[in-house]
Structure 1
Amino acid sequence: MTQPFALVGTARPKPERVEELKQLLLSFVEPTRQESGCLEYHFHEDRDDPGVFLFYEAWRSQADLDAHLALPHMQAFWERRMDYLETDFDIRFLDMRSPYQGAGGAGAH
């Protein structure tokens, strides 16, 4: 069985683009959760620093994440991300050491 692949990221939007970026990132949640390799996909806003967004993603494999990132809407967003961000995403790639029992298949959202 392939080990799940996860990441956590932080987005610090330009002050004038906070709401626009929030709505755009929220629009990615449900379609992404429907992708076959997606195990978890969560979007958060920092309680102590509103307007700072964090996301957590877990994928069945690196290949599933790569397929997600290659989708046209994700490519388009990646190319224009700096229109929204003060600084580029801070992304940390993680090896999941404690997967849920059901993390080997879709539907473990």
Structure 2
Amino acid sequence: METKIALTVLIRAKPERAEELKVAILALIEQTIKEPGCEVFKVFQHHDHAELFTLWEVFSNQLAMQEHMQKDYTKKYFALDLVESVLGTQHIELTVT
């Protein structure tokens, strides 16, 4: 069984760029959720700190994640250079059997 790739990423927009980042992330969501290997791609903007966003991503396997990173729209998002800092972690869901 292939291991799902689950990530939680905290992103801080560059000063005065939060609204631009929000628009860019919304465009990224629209494309990413159509990928066959994307199981979850949700983004949350923090209520009290509009410059902070949390991404919750789940891809069916490592290959799906790698393919996502090679998509033109993903590269375009990163090329916009709207992010000041990123803190991410990969995790495994615990389930009761």
Amino acid aligned to 1:42: K
Identical-residue share of aligned pairs (%): 26
Deviation at 1:16, TM superposition (A): 1.6
Deviation at 1:95, TM superposition (A): 2.2
Aligned pairs for 1:13-52 (under 5 A) are 13-52=13-52
Q: Distance in 2 between matches of 1:85 and 1:4?
A: 26
Structure 2 residue runs without a partner (length 5+):
none
Amino acid aligned to 1:95: I
Deviation at 1:70, TM superposition (A): 0.8
TM-score w.r.t. the length of structure 1 is: 0.78
**Per-residue CA shift, 1:28-51, capped at 9, x if unaligned?**
112111100011110101123222
Q: Distance in 1 between matches of 2:84 and 2:91?
A: 24
Q: Distance in 1 between matches of 2:75 and 2:27?
A: 15
**Per-residue CA shift, 1:7-65, capped at 9, x if unaligned?**
01011112221101100001111211110001111010112322211100001001100
Q: Which has the higher helix share?
A: 1
Aligned-residue Cα RMSD (Å) equals: 1.5
Could you tell me which residue of structure 1 aligns to residue 82 of structure 2? 84
SS at match of 1:15: coil
**Per-residue CA shift, 1:47-105, capped at 9, x if unaligned?**
23222111000010011001000112212333x35x31222x2111122333xxxxxxx
TM-score w.r.t. the length of structure 2 is: 0.86
Alignment length (residue pairs): 95
SS at match of 1:21: helix
